[in-house]
Amino acid sequence: MRVPLTTRDFIDRAELVYGDRVGIVDEPMQPADPLGELTYREVARRARAIAAGLDALGVGEGERVAVVSHNSARLLELLYAVPSYGRVLVPVNFRLSAAEFDYIVEHCGASVLLIDPEIEPQLSGITAPHRFLLGEEYESGLLRFDAEPRPWSAPDEDSTATINYTSGTTARPKGVQMTHRNEWVNATTFGMHMQVSDRDVYMHTLPMFHCNGWGLPYTSAALGVKQVPIRKIDGAEILRRVQQHGVTLMAGAPAVWNAVLDAAAEWDGEVPGRGQVRIVVAGAAPPSRTIARVEEELGWEFNQIYGLTETAPLLTVNRPRAEYDDLSPLDRAKALSRAGVPALGTQLSTNESGEVLARGNTVLAGYWENPEASAEALDGGWFHTGDGGSVDEGGYLTISDRKKDVIITGGENVSSIEVEDVVFSHPSVAEVAVIGVPDEKWGEMVTALVVLAEGASATEAEIIAHCRTRIAGYKAPKRVEFRDAIPRTATGKIQKFKLRESFAPPAD
């Protein structure tokens, strides 16, 4: 028998098996009316009400619903409501500028736009056929509790469930098409490898727009895991909520755990969650010192995964397996600093240039309306990650460098070309190269090397301010260095790795 694997399975199971349990604890502090504690029965009922509301608006199967929001129950429920009935959810990065957001709404052809009231002031000019502010307008204008939603006419696991826009090597972000099958396989294998159980409490320290919160909303629903969204990353606030809600599982980039470590140093009394909490880290190779500190100072279990938005994300996993038990803290941290071994059903390889290639059921269907980029990424039947890496005798992958011209700062991708375009639009700039410089806090810091035009002048602050009005703040250079020339190869290419080498790596 073949039954399509669709994301609806996860919320259906939550309702059937864990209907009475609190499924989501909404953010208490937010501009919209908080939803408080929602049982999984209530989450499922609201998801149906959203789908019925979309029916009433005439939003058909395959149409796109874009949402831009900080983490909240309303953003989370859309991951269940929208794809379950054959529509496509487009969760957008809330840090983007209005122009960037406008491009995405336009490119995906969104029929519906849902906006967090906190972000609305920046996005007031952006329209779509239907537009609701999350909160009262959404509750009374969209949700229809008086009607049953029309079922998806022909559920298909290969159809697109979500589109996640991600910055790559091009100036414009690309829309990663995740199918229901991608999401299903990611959520179940992730749950298995991280040994998620119905005793877990999961806190969303990861922005949910990023790769659908790594698919963990689906894993959590299937197993009745209580989910606690947090809107803003703050180390002390994370610790307080771990204590308040008995959180056992969290995920995020190294920058999140650095914030928690700083807050723990000031924390009065025993750090909450000692011996209870497991964290899953990805986005950048964490220094082994951070790993050792997480285990010693917090007493939290450290797990690493590696993957991309294009791979749902799970490709590899590195858990503190039984064999690590007898290692010294330093050797254990070293073992855990590798990206990991392939998740079940994933195959990894490297090509002659050392680029990591992957095959598996979590790999994207393609980029939305971008056949050239899709063909390039999937050339030869393997997904090209753009990361350089090597595999040791134990089969463990270590990511050593990045072949693609992408900077990862605070866990978010930034296209160097996009930033270069913006710096270059400053009238005093003759030449620019943008690179990621290793940085303790951000992983990498967006840094612009600038050659000024003959007779022109500009200060670092002026160039940064120029960028901040045009692109998201996190993409703007944090540092600008003026140079007389930017070294190039004989063919005129800038060798970014050489530029990066002139900056010291972070201490490990």
Q: Which residues bind ligand AMP (CB under 6 A)?
A: 166, 211, 282-285, 304, 306, 308-309, 313, 339, 385-387, 399, 402, 408, 413
Choose between 36 and 473: whose C-beta lies nearer to ligand AMP.
473
Is the Cβ of residue 40 or residue 306 nearer to ligand AMP in the bound state? Answer: 306
Choice between 308 and 494, CB closer to ligand AMP? 308
Q: How far apart are CA 71 and CA 94, in angstroms?
A: 10
Min separation Cβ 167 and ligand AMP, Å? 8
Cα dihedral 37, 42, 47, 51, rounded to 10, equals -130
Q: What is the Cα 407 distance to its own chain's centre?
A: 14
Nearest distance from residue 55's CB to ligand AMP, in Å?
Answer: 33
Which tokens hold the place of 436? 């990621």
Smallest gap from Cβ 303 to ligand AMP, in A, equals: 10
> Which is closer to ligand AMP, CB of 396 or CB of 424?
396
Q: How far is the CB of 43 from ligand AMP (least distance, A)?
A: 26
Number of alpha carbons in the 13 Å side-chain half-sphere of residue 186: 30
User: Cα-flanking dihedrals φ and ψ of residue 27, to 5°?
Assistant: -60, 125
Decide whether 203 or 414 has the Cβ nearer to ligand AMP: 414
Strand-by-strand arrangement of the 383-391 sheet: 347-350, 355-359, 383-391, 397-402
Spatial distance between the Cα atoms of 23 and 201, rounded to a whole number of angstroms: 9
Beta bridge partners of 443: 439
Residue closest to ligand AMP, measured at CB: 309
Q: Which is nearer to ligand AMP, 361 or 413 (CB)?
A: 413
Q: Are 405 and 416 in contact (CB under 8 A)?
A: yes
Q: CA 297, CA 182: separation in Å to the nearest integer? A: 36
Q: What is the closest distance, in whole angstroms, from the C-beta atom of residue 215 to ligand AMP in the complex?
A: 12
Closest approach of ligand AMP to the CB of residue 164, in Å:
8
Residue with smaller CB distance to ligand AMP, 97 or 318: 318
Q: 19 exposed, middle or buried (CB, 10 Å; 0-12, 13-18, 19+)?
A: middle
Q: Is residue 58 exposed (0-12), middle (13-18) or buried (19+ Cβ within 10 Å)?
A: exposed
Cβ at position 318, least distance to ligand AMP in Å: 8
Burial of 202 (0-12, 13-18, 19+ CB in 10 A): buried
Task: Give 225 or 282: the residue with its C-beta nearer to ligand AMP.
Answer: 282
For residue 308, the minimal CB distance to ligand AMP (Å) is 4
